[in-house]
Amino acid sequence: MAYQTLTVEIDDYVALIRLNRPEALNALNSELLTELGSAMEEAERNEKVRCIVLTGSEKAFAAGADIKEMSTKSYGEVFTSDLFGAEIAKILRTRKPIIAAVSGYCLGGGCELAMACDFIICTDTAKFGQPEINLGVIPGIGGSQRLTRFIGKSKAMDMILTGRFMDSAEAERSGLVSRVVPAPKLIPEVLAIAKKISEKSILSVMVAKECVNRAYETTLSEGILFERRSFAALFATEDQKEGMAAFLEKRQPQFRDK
């Protein structure tokens, strides 16, 4: 499918989705988020995709929700349309892993979009922030909740109340990103990581993603019970037999997603 605000390339079982509104530093408007929701659903359905990489440009992953589009909305319009709620829900429903590859500005709704992915890898030029306070609002796509879980209350309050930006070193130190790479290497390095994930059994990949996400939604004992049941269930798969046999036979496993 052709999109106006993003591009999708699929190669070697990895879908690379690139936000493409350079004139607005990839600000998230309703067209872009609707297209992104559709691209995620397509990637989820496509058997040629086993891992998804979401990226922007060198200058900006995304500089936030589109201020021009939002500026004249009334309370009633934002409330009844549940602004961006349905679109973000499509991303969160994706069961295949999604890596956010961030370069440059990753602000407001852009930071919230990156945090809705499974993990974030950024360049040394990346700048993260939730500057909505400067516009007389607050984060609106989960930032107050997800940022707090990523980096803790003190830093989240600091970021959200002052609107300041965080550089890549602080983002890595705080646990917001998993790795920092030099800017020119971002896409090759993230694609290599995605490729590595795509070679695993998709059954254990999807179960692992569900288990880690469960840690955010439930108590420790319920989460551990969920993990134990999921772990046991994987022993019903051919891929578990193949994975362990391959280890013992000192060869690479041939997973068949069964």
Round to whole Å and give the CA distance between 161 and 130: 9
Size of the site for ligand CAA (CB under 6 A): 21
Annotated catalytic residue within 65, 100, 101, 126: 65
**Segment near ligand CAA (CB under 6 A), from 57-65, 114-122, 167-175, 224-232?**
57-65
Any contact of residue 64 with ligand CAA (CB under 6 A)? yes
Annotated catalytic residue within 63, 132, 140, 172: 132
x/- map, 126-165, ligand CAA, by CB under 6 A: -----xx--x---xxx-x----------------------
How many helices and strands (H and E) does the chain possess?
Answer: 12, 10
> Could you confirm whether 35 is annotated as catalytic?
no
> Could you confirm whether 175 is annotated as catalytic?
no
Q: Which of 37, 56, 97, 108 lies at the binding interface for ligand CAA (CB under 6 A)? A: 108
> Could you confirm whether 112 is annotated as catalytic?
yes
Round to whole Å and give the CA distance between 59 and 124: 12
Which of positions 24-43 make contact with ligand CAA (CB under 6 A)? Answer: 24-25, 27
Angle at 149 between CA 129 and CA 95, to 5 degrees: 95
Round to whole Å and give the CA distance between 167 and 123: 10
Helix axes 109-116, 143-151, angle to 10 degrees: 60
